[in-house]
Amino acid sequence: MRELESVELPKIEDFYDLNYEKGEIRLRGVKGRAFVLSTQAWAAFRVALSNGFKEEASFFVFQMGYSVGMSYVEQIRKLQGEPKKRLKILLSIAKSYGWGPFSIDGDADNATELIVVAKNCPFCHGRPLSESPVCHFLTGFVNGLIDRLYDGQHKASETKCTRMGGTTCEITITEMPAENQGRMGTEANEHVGEAILGEGSAYSDGRS
């Protein structure tokens, strides 16, 4: 397993402009605001979704993550370099947001088969042990990053999860055959913010 190449990052306050009088957190380098969500609040959100949407909740959360992943790529469009380099930068940024450290294994040059490993994952933090993986948002996030960076469609599956008793969460990415990549995925890549986003991706919660 290869650790991410060292990327020198500024201190966390260099990512944000904090205005306590206005109650605003402004992102530096990109337009827009940010807000802080605790893992306890995220857990309450998950529970509410599960109660309201039952079996569809996990896919709904996956789609949320997918759109966020694609939006991350849009935020660094001005950066030059191969997808592999930009993927490492994006995962380093996610680490700075409190998402835990990441490592990459597999074909990072073409993303035909790739494993993204997350340590100290906040998305399953505090959850009880489970027989199946539960990091649906993180799975969608990684899937969105890969689809957008490598300009194709991929199947994402969380194959290991700390809530299953492991020490890491692992997202396995597999490139979908060209004949299975439909027009929906292309439109989703062109219209990141639209409701169609992510319909061309293939999601697995690791149980199939």
Complete domains list, the chain, with CATH:
2-204 (3.30.1380.20)
Report the alpha-carbon angle 76-140-111, nearest 5: 65
Q: Read off the tokens for 77.
A: 């469009």
By C-alpha distance, which of 74, 34, 63, 82 is closest to 191? 74
What value does the mean pLDDT of the chain take?
80
Confidence class for position 34, pLDDT limits 50, 70, 90: confident
pLDDT at 113 over 60: yes
Please give the span between the terminal C-alpha atoms of the chain, in angstroms, as a whole number.
25
pLDDT at 2 over 90: no
Q: What pLDDT digit, counting tens, does each position of 114-159 carry?
A: 999 999 999 998 888 999 999 999 999 999 999 999 999 999 999 9
Alpha helices in 76-120 (DSSP H): 83-94
Q: What pLDDT, on a 0 to 100 scale, did the predictor assign at position 133? A: 93
pLDDT at 42 over 90: no
Cα(103)–Cα(171) distance, integer angstroms: 11
Q: What pLDDT digit, counting tens, does each position of 165-182 carry?
A: 989 999 999 998 877 766
Amino acid at 123: F
- pTM for this one? 0.78
- Give the CA distances from residue 8 to residues 4, 40, 69, 88, 94, in Å, rounded to whole numbers and listed in that order: 12, 30, 22, 12, 14
Confidence class for position 54, pLDDT limits 50, 70, 90: confident
Question: What is the average per-residue pLDDT within 4-26?
Answer: 71
Cα(72)–Cα(77) distance, integer angstroms: 9
Confidence class for position 29, pLDDT limits 50, 70, 90: low
Q: Count CB neighbours of 33 within 10 A.
A: 12
